[in-house]
Amino acid sequence: MNEGFRKYRPYPPVSGMENRKWPDRQITKAPVWCSVDLRDGNQALVNPMSLAQKVMFFTELCNMGFKEIEVGFPSSNDTEYETLRTLIDNDLIPDDVWIQVLVQCREHLIRKTFEAVKGAKNVIIHFYGATSELMRNVVFRAEKEQIVEIAAQGAALSKTLAAELPSDMNIRYEYSPEHFSGTEPDFAVEICAAVMEALGATKENPVILNLPSSVQLSTSNIYADLVEYFCDHLPNREAAIISVHPHNDRGSGISDAEFALMAGAERVEGTIFGNGERTGNVDILVLALNMYTQGVDPMLDVSNVNHLKQVYEQVTGMKVHERHPYAGELVFTAFSGSHQDAIKKGFDYMEEHNSEYWYVPYLPISPADVGRQYEPIIRINSQSGKGGAAFIMQTVFGYNLPKKMHPEFGAVVKAAADGKGAELAADEIMEIFKKEYLERSVPYSLKSHKINDLGEGGEYVTNFSGVISHGDKDIPLEGNGNGPIDAFFDALGKAGIDGFRFINYYEHAIGSGSNAKAVSYIELRTKGHHTVFGVGTHNNTSVASILGVLCAVNRAVIVG
């Protein structure tokens, strides 16, 4: 047995949280969003973005509606500095967008950062320092007092340098006790309070206090406890905007962020599609769409995830996984037969009831709301059921197969998928439908026809006359009835083509205007008491019905 787990210690619960409030709260409004794609996300790429790619990505983030965007760490290297200056010097920053720049609490780096931001209208100076017990003991070998002093000095210097900037620049401050998730709760409060005091934070000019789970160490409920504890114990709370920056080491970045918002956080830093160091940052796109599905306006444009995915993959070289929530290629796809049937019934139900609210099983959001309406929701393979093929025929090609016909056509498609050993595309399903129904001309095919209504004693009788072929033999037909279908059946019977019973028919139009066609579905029962369907299409409704009958007869001869 592997005993390696014994070298790990469980994260301790947060004391003093017997009356925690966050579990009973709901998220009712969007937080302030801050994208860190250009910095935190970029530093995690195998091949960092070029200047042109950064500018392209920045523009896309602005178009999405981000009002705060971390654009880099300008004091760290020339590329980061050049990116910032390009955005400022070329007037690429919208007036309502705040650019955020990152810097460590070190004097020469802070001074260089303030030089780099000159000329920008709205700037957030984001300074940080590691505060966790692990970092203090292992990396810095420093006491708490020293860490607090470094942070307070960085805040004081930032305030001094801000006063020297042009008066038309707007400066705000953000402080991150890096590794907050591993910092003692009381010490996190202490160091942030010292920074607030050094900055002279007020309700009118609040400081952003960012609480990063730089490395996830606990379950999401404990992270929420840490955030609520911090909010409840921070002096001068109204002079701070509480922000979170969850990573995803335990795979729970989304729940960390959502629980933190319930615990009092007002702002979230993250990246779209969750790019970032190790397992990544919290995925803002998923967070925003989670809110959307709960009736909350996310205050970001998430209406075209395919476009966002295309831009993201182009500038980062990363790929969005097929099962990525909301954006993955397969997330709105059902292969399972029971899922397909439930989805189709959900769409039918909404149409029948003119539903005000989204009400479709297995789809928590309408694909159309994120720009995915032209992609197949249901895809067909050997695991697919009776309703899947019918859904494709209806949504892609306009054929609304009768419900009783679904098992029959579903079995035909399933057999084809089994034979192929792979997924069937919509066009392949249509070809199967044509071969099985629309092009079924053996053993009988219609060569000529004439349909007339005859008046007799105030009553009208329909007369059918025509010729069908059977191999190389032509068979003349003539019969009367109370309609085209009845007359055609009478003609078939007189020609000795019998042994099946008419059960029902269904019809609808496909297309519109002068190009509209009638589609007729004919249900027959054979001598062996099997039910078979036939399908006919024609510009003339009566002819479509005749072709549907003949198709059903041909299939009935085979079924027996």
Reported confidence tier of residue 290, pLDDT bands at 50, 70, 90 = very high
Mark whether 285 and 399 lie in a shared domain: no
Q: Is 276 exposed, middle or buried (0-12, 13-18, 19+ CB in 10 A)?
A: buried
Reported confidence tier of residue 459, pLDDT bands at 50, 70, 90 = confident
Counting residues of the chain whose pLDDT is more than 90, the rounded percentage is 81
The first and second tokens of residue 144, run together, are 């708490």
Does residue 20 belong to any structural domain of this protein? no
Mark whether 520 and 379 lie in a shared domain: no
Whose CA is closest to 199, among 167, 174, 169? Answer: 174
Q: Reduced to 3 states, what is the DSSP secondary structure of residue 294? A: coil
Q: Which domain holds residue 117?
A: 30-316
Mark whether 482 and 372 lie in a shared domain: no
Whose CA is closest to 340, among 278, 407, 276, 273? Answer: 407
Q: What is the mean pLDDT of residues 358-370?
A: 94
- Please say if the pLDDT value at position 249 is more than 50: yes
| Domain stops at, among 417, 438, 459 | 438
- Find out whether 273 and 318 touch, Cβ atoms under 8 Å: yes
Q: What is the count of structural domains for the chain?
A: 3
How do residues 209-221 score in pLDDT, each as one tens digit?
Answer: 999 999 999 999 9
How do residues 164-188 score in pLDDT, each as one tens digit?
Answer: 999 999 999 999 999 999 999 999 9
Tell me whether strands 531-538 and 122-130 are parallel, antiparallel or unpaired.
Answer: unpaired
Does residue 252 belong to any structural domain of this protein? yes
Model-level pTM greater than 0.85? Answer: no
How do residues 91-147 score in pLDDT, each as one tens digit?
Answer: 999 999 999 999 999 999 999 999 999 999 999 999 999 898 888 888 888 899 999
User: What pLDDT does residue 212 have?
Assistant: 95
Does residue 200 come out as left (phi exceeding 0), alpha (psi in the -120 to 50 range) or beta? left
Q: What is the mean pLDDT of residues 362-370?
A: 93
User: What pLDDT does residue 374 have?
Assistant: 42
Mark whether 361 and 264 lie in a shared domain: no
Q: What is the mean pLDDT of residues 551-559?
A: 86
Q: What is the mean pLDDT of residues 339-357?
A: 90
User: Which CATH number fits the domain that encloses residue 118?
Assistant: 3.20.20.70
The first and second tokens of residue 269, run together, are 């830093």
Mark whether 449 and 424 lie in a shared domain: no
Mark whether 147 and 129 lie in a shared domain: yes
User: What pLDDT does residue 35 have?
Assistant: 98
How do residues 221-231 score in pLDDT, each as one tens digit?
Answer: 999 999 999 99
Q: Reduced to 3 states, what is the DSSP secondary structure of residue 106? A: coil
Does residue 322 belong to any structural domain of this protein? no
- Please say if the pLDDT value at position 506 is more than 70: yes
- Please say if the pLDDT value at position 489 is more than 50: yes
Tell me whether strands 473-481 and 459-470 are parallel, antiparallel or unpaired.
Answer: antiparallel
Mark whether 185 and 164 lie in a shared domain: yes
How do residues 32-90 score in pLDDT, each as one tens digit?
Answer: 999 999 999 999 999 999 999 999 999 999 999 999 999 999 998 888 999 999 999 99
Mark whether 299 and 411 lie in a shared domain: no
User: Which CATH number fits the domain that encloses residue 393?
Assistant: 1.10.287.1400
Reported confidence tier of residue 456, pLDDT bands at 50, 70, 90 = low
Mark whether 111 and 249 lie in a shared domain: yes
Mark whether 425 and 450 lie in a shared domain: no
Mark whether 163 and 263 lie in a shared domain: yes
- Please say if the pLDDT value at position 560 is more than 60: no
Mark whether 110 and 253 lie in a shared domain: yes
